[in-house]
Amino acid sequence: MGAQNVQLVLQNWAPILYPHHAVLRILQHMALIAHDYDDSDVLARQYFGGHTTLALGLGCPHIQGRVTHGALMNVGRSIAVLRAAGAISDLTQAVGQRQAAYQLHLDGPVDMADP
């Protein structure tokens, strides 16, 4: 899984996101979980692990794997920063029990306004 993705985060995103340590750590965690290359089931650079996994990856307080509402809000704010920076884009929205999925743009910022 994502060793090469993490290298791209450090190379292309660390200089941009450096002042936002939690945001950078979330992108690193997403990159680590995402596949480096296309697989039969999953395309490369797609994250679908959910916000709870990201909160746990940040070391947020939890009880038996359940994180606080505040921790999930922090993850949500970080996701918004990553979207605005062009580091990720939505593949699917979270609906009911289904988690959101994101495409990671690890080669550098992507202008979401361009077709």
CATH number, domain at 52? Answer: 1.10.10
The answer to whether residue 33 scores a pLDDT higher than 60 is: yes
Q: Is residue 112 part of a domain?
A: no
Q: Is residue 53 part of a domain?
A: yes
For the chain, what percent of residues have pLDDT higher than 70?
90
pTM: 0.86
What pLDDT score was predicted for residue 115?
45
Dihedral (Cα; 5, 34, 25, 84), 10-degree rounding:
90
- Asked whether 31 and 2 are in contact (CB, 8 A), the reply is yes
Range of the domain at 67: 3-104
Q: Is residue 109 part of a domain?
A: no
The answer to whether residue 114 scores a pLDDT higher than 60 is: no
pLDDT-based confidence at 43, cuts 50/70/90? confident
Q: Is residue 89 part of a domain?
A: yes
Overall number of domains in the chain: 1
Q: Is residue 91 part of a domain?
A: yes
Q: Where do the DSSP E strands lie in 1-115?
A: 46-47, 62-63, 66-67, 88-92, 101-104
